[in-house]
Structure 1
Amino acid sequence: MASTDNRGTGASRRNGTKTNTDPSTAVVISVAATATGLIALIIALAAGGAVTPQVIPGLPDAGPLTRWGLPVSKNVQDAGAVLTVGLLLLAAFLLPNDKGVPSSQALGYVRAASWTGLAWAAGAGATLVFQLSDTVGQPPFAVIGDQLSSYAGQSTQGIGLTVVILLATAVALFGRTVVTGAGVITLLGIALAGVVPPALTGHSATAGSHELAVTGLALHVLAICLWVGGLAAVTFHALRPGGEHAALAVRRFSRFALWAYIGVAIGGAASAISRLYAVQELYTTPYGRIILVKIVLFGVLGYLGWLHRRSVVPRIGEASGRARFVRVAGGEIVIMAAVVGISVALSRTAPPPPAESEVDPVTAILGFPMPPPIDAQSLLTLWRPDLLFIMLVVCLGGFYAVGVVRLVRRGDRWPWGRSLAWALGLLLLVAAVLSGVGTYAMVLFSTHMLQHMALSMMVPLLLVLGAPATLALRALKPAQRRGDRGPREWLSAFLGSSFSRAVTHPGVAAPLFVLSPYALYFTPLFPALMSDHLGHMLMNVHFLATGFLFYWVIAGVDPGPRKLPYLLRILLLLVTMGMHAFFGIAIMMQTEPLAPEYYAQLEIPWSSSVGEDQYTGGGIAWSIGEIPTLLVTIAMLRQWARDEERTERRRQRHSRRDGSDDADMDAYNAYLQELDRRSRGES
């Protein structure tokens, strides 16, 4: 590591370029960011009233240590998560690699991420203790013991923080031994997964609009970690004497930062909308005023980012441009630290309560009031803004369209049938999740089963026939640096990896597709997932993923690690669909309703019987499987015929080129065809 740094510094001197990278600048930026974050945290806590509550005599009070210790420990937790994600992002994607092998400096950042991951885990552990202390109203040292272990294993917020501690510790441990690019990307995925649980188990899970609150906050914190952490890591690398490929890392992060900025804006707006019930609450409540401060600082950061892209990044290769980048990025980091502190204080500030008329048990369970009796009009008009699937549809449709346009502009052809299948799949996904079908799927078992069948059997099949991986491999540009890996190279490596080979094995893909419904609906897992918006969202994602994997194995045209014979594909399809049809019959034969504790608490006034609705749902599961079976059979027969034609053309070209014995066979076949033609002419 040291020899690399010396070579880089010497190269700069030989080229006559002054890098202006004083290590003390990094210390100044770090101290300024830490101080600014703490000051912003204290001011926001005082403004929101989180540290000056009205203590009622006779009620338990955790004391000032918890009131101040909880936000401070959470700030440490968030800072550790941001730095860990940023360092791993720099090592995985912003610095170049050699055919998937990170450079020595990149591996050094992975080792640094193991230390920040350890600090992240420690901050999460302290947050767990202070959070329990705040919940039960006892001092922190009084809750350590059996009470803490019970809270960590039974409460949703306790379980979320426990998961964070485990994932952060995993990053800290495995970060010491990872040496491959795939390993670094895996660590980055683990770190991003560790950021999400607090957002899914906090106040967002009880907000009025579950679809906006949960997904919006999760997107918000993920984008912030990538944006803030990435900028901090890139700035440190630019300040580091002998930092290799600093200009390249800055250019790559500049393109990435725009998407992160958009993600922060969308997630923050969705989260705010789900908690504020009127526009005036932005300036009449402490919660709204803190949000206004975040909006102003966010606008300032957007201006600095625009300044980066316009005047700093184009001249980043010059010494003056690199020095200006450090100055602007340092200011950004300080403001970002203040925003992180304000966000922690916002999580400790009570949002404005809803009106009394909006509080009812059904709304608390579903996130929306009881819909009217189901009919064609309500299915077409009762749309729900599920942010996760809105983003999924927009991203999948937008990237696919960009890929097709890129191929057409350079003169390549893309089959219109594949584009049509992709568009129909996305439209069906919108109808199944965002329309009235998605609304009534939370209320009626029959509509839920209709949604399940669409998400697991129809939407994945249409998306698979769109050949997205083939389009991406043709549309994405190769990496500019020889030996480096860009999006195209990483996608190609993933398609041929051992992981892809394992999950695309028929013994894995088919059981996941056909056996998971049995494990879901005939166990207590179904009512547990239905009772929580996050659980229902995970069910829908699972349906999509397992269906896509199954159809990609038997009907996909994308390149993959294995290619099954067509007879085996047809046999696998028939066996799987037969078991799926039996699943519908098994539901129809049930004498007791599934998830009675969930549907009983809804008390649907216009539904006659839960049992009859369940019987209808079983009939839908039994009958709807014929449609994808027919479509897959037709698609496989066409693929089989085209594959035989291509094989025959290759054989003929090989015969003509090599002069092998196949040429005699071709001549003999031509002779037989001529005899047949003559005999037909005589008759």
Structure 2
Amino acid sequence: MSSPGVREGDLPREEPAESRAPGAAVRAPGADTAGIIAVAAVASGLIALIVALVAGGAVTVRVIPGLPDAGPLTRWGLPTATAVRDVAAALTVGLLVLGAFLLPLRKGAPGAQALGYVRVAAWPALVWAAAAGAVLVFQLSDVSGLPPGQVVGDQLTSYAVSVAQGIGLLAVILLACGTALLSRTAETAAGTLAPLALAVAGLMPPALTGHSASAGSHELAVTGLALHVLAISLWVGGLAAVTFHGLRAKPAAPAVAAERFSRMALWAYIGVGVGGVASAASRLYAVSDLVTTSYGLLILVKAVLFCALGALGWAHRRRTIPRITEAGGRRLFARLAGVEIAVMSATMGIAAALSRTAPPEQPGTVTEAEAVLGFAVPPPVSVQTLLTLWRPDLFFALVVVVLGGAYAAGVVRLLRRGDSWPWGRTLSWAAGLAVLVAMLLSGVATYSMVTFSMHMVQHMVLSMLVPILLVLGAPVTLALRALHPARIRGDRGPREWLAAFINSGFSTTVTHPAVAAPVFVLSPYVLYFTPLFPALMNDHTGHLLMNVHFLLTGFLYYWIIVGVDPGPRNLPYLLRLVLLLVAMGVHAFFGITIMMQSAPLAMEYYGQFDVPWLDAQGADQYAGGGIAWAVGEVPTGLVMLAMVRQWWVDDERAERRRERHSKRGGSDDADMDAYNAYLAELDRRSKGGA
């Protein structure tokens, strides 16, 4: 089965029959079965889309005479283009994942078949870009109430570069085209990651700029929808790609890809469920909305189909994957996968219709502060409110769960095989995650959106305390020790990919002191003394990225100062001490600079809502500057202690090496030994006439 416009030479070829092992001459189900699955998927998706659009009322709205109306073409075209965009994006991601990760490498490089799938991904990527362009036109038509033909031109250009949703769709078009370009030029294992990274990035703009960004609970809506879209793209696209691969490859070939996809699909299924629940919870205001509104009923239908897909996936894992290399195993796999793909297609059709269905109205009156913050202005700060006013930030909750669970699993694996792991590192990692929870999920996170002083507390702790604790936990060392090597020789598993990333040119660059230190100490000046700060605070995604930036820049900086993990370079301790003192001095001056400001910062953001218990914005900002100036003392002391201990341990190790060398007949000074060996080599060469 080939997509329109796909040349036969682009498809990864099946290996010749002569190369098959004896007894493996089982005829593949072939292109006929693939065509039947494709037709069934398209039919189920279209039927589900049409039924959901009619049931949800998206295409049966009553047109009021005298009011602008985009017309039936837009009412039907927008959800249809959205469905095509989502399916094409999923197919693109699935083919790229198949070529990059699901097929084994050969001597560290992707085989011809894997590269073939990566290159074929260019075609659905182009369909993805075209469908996103159609969504852009229909979306502007829907917003303006004009037929699609009347919005093409300057009006469309203005919408694409000035409105958030238009900018998001324009980004999708550019990222999809970039994915198509890079997928055609990929040659190496690392090269296959570039188009995959662009494709994953292309999934995000609609979730970050759509209606979820304006939902009441920003922390649930935006992250929930983004997680839902990413997980379902990996799941649906991966299954379609693996099924296509299984129908045309030789009998033993699909086993590895199917087994690897089965493990990935389990996590994708969990991600779809978590993201879907979070997204629905942010749009529904009562349990009764599930049965009293069209929006809630469509969510219930999606939930039923989701459970059915879970049952089909379990059947795959228990019945078809263990038998995929048997005589009838692939036919059984193809039949079950065909049903699963058809159900997935119907689910995506309902999802496209759901995006055009009006959600329940929020009860009560939404204040200006609630529209900006996503919640009401909290009461005055107290110990009780800091401990009780928690924010349901799904992104950082998932970060904490994943990092904590992965670290605990690594420690348990080491202990089960009889290896030891320092308890101090585990305690440091746990403390870092606990402080992260306190800063981003408790009342501190709530008040950081309201007052500058509490925001500065959050900033300083995220960039200067949490990274130190996480770095001292040595997560990279634990991962390299706990992860198993790849089972297939010449292939790359998680351990090999991690090692390759650590030794990559990117890691070498970002961990260089000339890069990591300036980014750490200068980024606060760029952030707070430019319009960037109010712009990021006004947008949930921007605020989330700002906190991620604090964590990553702090982690990189302290990784080169007190890190115990293996890295591209090992800095002398004297240089580390100099970098630490310079950074702390610049940070202290940053706090003083804020305290000396004559006018409050970021009034474009803070001026949008009133905090009745806050005396003056200027006084609160002065307190925030004082916090930035004084809070650096604790992290500096902690780093000093860690550095002194590491320095002392390193000297002890060097002394033991010198003693062992001395006992073997060498001197106590390794440098002198090297110099004497150099002189001896020169003498030998001169006597030999060299």
Per the normalisation by structure 2, the TM-score is: 0.94
Shift of the 661–407 alpha-carbon distance from structure 1 to 2, 3 Å rule, reads same
Give the AA of the match of 2:620: D
Q: How far apart in 2 are the matches of 1:34 and 1:501?
A: 47
Once the two structures are superposed, the pairs formed by residues 9-20 of structure 1 within 5 Å of their partners are 9-12=17-20, 14-20=22-28
**Following TM superposition, by how much is the alpha carbon of 1:480 offset from its aligned partner in structure 2, in angstroms?**
0.3
Q: Does 1:609 align with 2:616?
A: yes
Matches within 5 A, 1:59-138: 59-138=67-146
Give the equivalent residue in structure 2 for 1:681. none
Aligned to 1:187: 195
Q: 1:460 is paired with a residue of what secondary structure? A: helix
Which of 173, 198, 202 is residue 206 of structure 2 equivalent to?
198
Matched, 1:660 2:666: yes
Deviations 1:358-395 (A, max 9, x none): x2111111111111111111001101110001000011
Aligned-partner Cα distance in 1 for 2:539–2:24: 62
Paired position in structure 2 for 1:291: 299
Letter in 1 for 2:245: H
2:404 is the alignment partner of 1:397: yes
Is structure 2 residue 165 aligned with structure 1 residue 150? Answer: no
Q: Which residue of 2 aligns with 1:481?
A: 488
CA apart distance, 1:79: 1.2
Q: Given that residues 199 and 214 in structure 1 are in contact (C-alpha distance below 8 angstroms), is that contact kept between their aligned partners in structure 2?
A: yes
2:266 to 250, 258, 273: 258
Greater Cα offset, 646-655 or 255-264 = 646-655
Q: Partner amino acid for 1:212?
A: L
Deviation at residue 186 of structure 1 after TM alignment: 2.2
Residue 113 of structure 1 contacts residue 172 of structure 1 at CA under 8 Å; is this kept in 2? yes
Summarize deviations over 1:603-647 as a string: whole Å, max 9, x none.
Answer: 111111111100000000000011111111111111111112222
Pair 1:224 & 2:232 matched: yes
Could you list the structure 1 runs, at least 4 aligned residues long, displaced by more than 6 angstroms after superposition: 1-4, 663-666
**Mapped contact 2:11–2:117 kept (Cα < 8 A):** no
2:517 is matched with which residue?
510
Distance in 1 separating the partners of 2:12 and 2:118: 17
Task: Pick closer, same or farther for the CA change 1:202–1:5 going to 2, 3 Å.
Answer: closer
Matched, 1:433 2:433: no
Equivalent residue for 1:351? 359
Structure 1, 634-643 or 501-510: larger mean CA deviation? 634-643
Residue 12 of structure 1 deviates from its aligned partner by: 4.0
SS at match of 1:175: helix
For residue 594 of structure 1, the aligned residue among 601, 604, 611 is 601
Change (3 A) 1:556 1:341: same
Task: Tell me, yes or no, if the aligned pair for 1:20 and 1:319 is still in contact at 8 Å.
Answer: no
Alignment map for 1:359-370 (pairs within 5 Å): 359-370=366-377
User: In structure 2, what residue type is equivalent to 1:25?
Assistant: T
Give the Å deviation of 1:172.
0.7
What amino acid is the match of 2:348? V
Match of residue 423, structure 2, among 399, 416, 420 = 416
What amino acid is aligned across from residue 630 of structure 1 in structure 2? G
2:546 is the counterpart of 1:539: yes
Stretch deviating more after TM superposition (296-305 or 68-77): 68-77
* 1:191–1:341 Cα change, 3 Å: same
Aligned to 1:578: 585
2:11/2:120 contact within 8 Å kept: no
TM-superposed deviation, 1:533: 1.4
- SS in structure 1 at match of 2:362: coil
Q: Percent identity?
A: 66
Q: Is the Cα–Cα contact under 8 Å of residues 99 and 485 in structure 1 kept in the other structure?
A: no
Contact 1:478 1:489 in 2 (8 A): yes
Once the two structures are superposed, what CA deviation does each residue of 1:541-583 show, in whole Å capped at 9, x if it has no partner? 1111111111111111111111111111110111011101111
Residue in structure 2 matching 1:629, options 610, 629, 636: 636
Partner SS state of residue 421, structure 2? coil
Deviation at 1:598, TM superposition (A): 1.4
**1:679 — aligned with what?**
none
Aligned length: 664
Q: Is the 8 A contact 2:295 2:359 kept in 1?
A: yes
CA contact (8 A) 1:237 1:243 kept: no
* SS in structure 1 at match of 2:608: helix
Unpaired runs of at least 5, structure 1: 667-683
Match of 2:680 in 1: none
Identify which range, 632-641 or 475-484, moves more after superposition: 632-641
1:11 Cα deviation after fit = 4.0
1:17–1:319: 8 Å Cα contact kept in structure 2?
A: no
Work out the CA distance in 2 between the residues paired with 1:129 and 1:601: 33
CA distance in 2, matches of 1:98, 1:585: 57
The residue aligned with 2:681 is none
The structure-2 alpha-carbon separation of the partners of 1:660 and 1:37, relative to structure 1 and needing over 3 Å to count, comes to: same
Contact 2:658/2:669 (<8 A) preserved: no
Shift of 1:245: 2.7
Which residue among 543, 554, 571 is the counterpart of 1:564? 571
- The equivalent of 1:333 in structure 2 is 341
2:476 is the counterpart of 1:497: no
Which residue in 2 is equivalent to 1:642? 649
Question: After superposition, what is the alpha-carbon deviation per residue over 1:398-423, rounded to whole angstroms, capped at 9, x for unaligned?
Answer: 00000001101111110111001000
Partner of 1:445: 452
> Given the superposition, is the C-alpha separation of residues 619 and 663 from structure 1 closer, same or farther in structure 2, using an over 3 Å criterion?
closer
Relative to structure 1, the CA distance from residue 10 to residue 512 in structure 2 (aligned partners, 3 Å threshold; closer, same or farther) is: same
Any idea what SS the aligned residue of 1:101 has? coil
Q: Give how far 1:664 is off.
A: 12
- The answer for the alignment partner of 2:380 in structure 1 is 373
Describe the shift of the 1:77–1:627 C-alpha distance in structure 2 as closer, same or farther (beyond 3 A): same
Shift of 1:107: 0.3
Aligned to 1:72, the other structure's residue is in SS state: helix
Is the Cα–Cα contact under 8 Å of residues 96 and 102 in structure 1 kept in the other structure? Answer: yes
Aligned residue type for 1:388: F
Counterpart of 2:96, as a letter, is: L
SS in 1 for 2:192: helix
Bigger drift between 484-493 and 323-332 goes to 323-332
Contact 1:92 1:181 in 2 (8 A): yes
- Give the counterpart of 1:464 among 457, 471, 474: 471
- 1:520 to 2:527 alignment: yes
Query: Which residue type is aligned with residue 419 of structure 1?
Result: T
- Give the residue type in structure 1 aligned to 2:522: L
Partner SS, residue 181 of structure 1: coil
Measured after TM superposition, the shift of residue 506 of structure 1 is 0.8
**2:394 aligned to which of 363, 387, 409:** 387
TM-score w.r.t. structure 1 length?
A: 0.95
The separation in 2 between residues aligned to 1:497 and 1:663, in whole angstroms, is 34
Question: Aligned-pair distance for 1:8?
Answer: 4.8
After superposition, the CA RMSD in angstroms is: 1.7
